[in-house]
């Protein structure tokens, strides 16, 4: 039996669903003190076989389906946060979170003193080796040679962004898309061999300030002194001619910029909320601008980012076939949305 079919079977078991429902109910009641329980909390604890449901979660975390990954994450976080579970069970939860490549959840548990910082010492050596191998395969290094641990989805996006001219990624909001997109841009900003212009398209004016603030924080954090950041559709001043540039636009601002400066080279185009390319007149305008950029700058790289959809490849269909394309679709989740 394959891992996927085993996960399907476990998830559909009535006994699992009954216990998982208790986990969800107890979690909600713990998070919202004003909610009154229909039964005493001891009843929840006694009705959940922690060891059994952890075993189920360890299999579900190997699945590719959203509902399986979500259940595995919720169970692991429930056990690690519970005052009624023992240290061994909490350590088992960290193993599940490691399998989900969910470092942030483990760091938060350590910060809250739910598990000790040296929890790995309590994990059997064969599992430690697996975790080390997973960390190595999912790691990249920043320009200061410091290691950065990515989740499995982020690592796939990062790798394919290097070898692909056009990339369309589709994943839930909680998968960490923004982080890896910013990391890809950071690579452009720290490349000493070439200066580039990146245009980051957001769907609404309301998002411009937030994205600009995120980039400003990144620039300050890494002390990047030669980066021009703007949300105004005008050509950078002469003193920034030899700087890397990030322009945060809506499609309308990109249109104004292209109208005024049609020969200004754009090296990387990132389209956030790209599913809206199919959204009425604004979508038509965006599609027109993309076609213009491809004609004027045939070597431009384009990355589309969308919420989870079943066919991210449709955004690549109209792009030149003589260049490399990579659709990426995942149901990976890194945080729980209550």
Residue 57 — pLDDT band, cuts 50, 70, 90?
A: very high
Q: What is d(CA 143, CA 127) in angstroms, rounded to the nearest whole number?
A: 31
Quick check: 328 and 155 in contact, CB under 8 A? no
| Residue-wise pLDDT tens digits, 118-137 | 999 999 888 889 888 888 88
What share of the chain has pLDDT > 90, as a percent?
Answer: 53
Q: How far apart are CA 108 and CA 199, in angstroms?
A: 34
Q: Is the pLDDT of residue 337 over 50?
A: no
> To the nearest whole percent, how much of the chain has pLDDT over 70?
91
Q: Residue 175's pLDDT is what?
A: 76
| Predicted confidence band of residue 338 (pLDDT cuts 50, 70, 90) | very low
* pLDDT (0 to 100) of residue 136: 87
Give the pLDDT score at 282.
86
Q: What pLDDT is recorded for position 56?
A: 96
Start-end of CATH 3.40.50.300 domains in the chain: 140-329
The answer, yes or no, to whether residue 37 has pLDDT greater than 70, is no
Paired sense of beta strands 139-141 and 147-149, if any = antiparallel
Dump pLDDT digits (tens) for 238-291. 888 889 999 999 999 999 999 999 999 999 999 998 777 767 788 889 999 999
CATH superfamily, domain 140-329, is: P-loop containing nucleotide triphosphate hydrolases (3.40.50.300)
What distance in Å separates the CA atoms of residue 5 and residue 101, rounded to the nearest whole number? Answer: 22
Residue 232's Cβ-side half-sphere holds a number of Cα atoms within 13 Å equal to 5
Band of the pLDDT at 101, cuts 50, 70, 90?
A: confident
């Amino acid at each position: 039996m394959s891992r996927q079919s085993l996960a399907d079977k476990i998830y559909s078991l009535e006994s699992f669903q009954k216990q998982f429902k208790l986990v969800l109910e107890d979690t909600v009641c713990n998070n919202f003190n004003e909610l009154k329980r229909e039964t005493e909390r001891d009843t929840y604890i006694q009705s959940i076989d922690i060891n059994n449901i952890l075993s189920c979660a360890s299999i579900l975390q190997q699945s590719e389906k959203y509902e399986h990954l979500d259940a595995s994450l919720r169970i692991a976080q429930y056990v690690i946060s519970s005052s009624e579970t023992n240290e061994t069970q909490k350590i088992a939860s960290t193993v599940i979170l490691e399998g989900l490549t969910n470092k942030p959840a483990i760091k938060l548990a350590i910060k809250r003193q739910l598990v000790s910082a040296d929890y790995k010492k309590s994990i059997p050596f064969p599992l430690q080796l697996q975790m080390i191998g997973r960390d190595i395969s999912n790691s990249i290094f920043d320009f200061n040679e410091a290691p950065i641990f990515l989740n499995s989805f982020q690592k796939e996006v990062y790798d394919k962004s290097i070898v692909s001219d056009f990339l369309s990624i589709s994943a839930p909001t909680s998968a960490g898309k923004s982080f890896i997109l910013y990391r890809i841009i950071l690579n452009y900003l720290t490349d000493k061999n070439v200066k580039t212009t990146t245009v980051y398209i957001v769907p609404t004016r309301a998002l411009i300030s937030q994205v600009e603030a995120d980039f400003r924080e990144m620039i300050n954090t890494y002390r990047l002194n030669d980066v021009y950041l703007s949300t105004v559709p005008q050509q950078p001043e002469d003193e920034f001619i030899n700087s890397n540039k990030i322009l945060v636009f809506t499609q309308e601002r990109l249109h104004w910029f292209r109208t005024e400066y049609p020969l200004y080279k754009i090296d990387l185009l990132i389209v956030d909320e790209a599913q809206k390319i199919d959204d009425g007149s604004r979508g038509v305008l965006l599609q027109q601008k993309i076609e213009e950029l491809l004609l004027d700058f045939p070597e431009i790289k384009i990355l589309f980012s969308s919420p989870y959809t079943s066919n991210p490849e449709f955004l690549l269909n109209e792009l030149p076939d003589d260049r490399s394309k990579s659709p990426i679709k995942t149901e990976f989740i890194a945080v729980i949305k209550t």
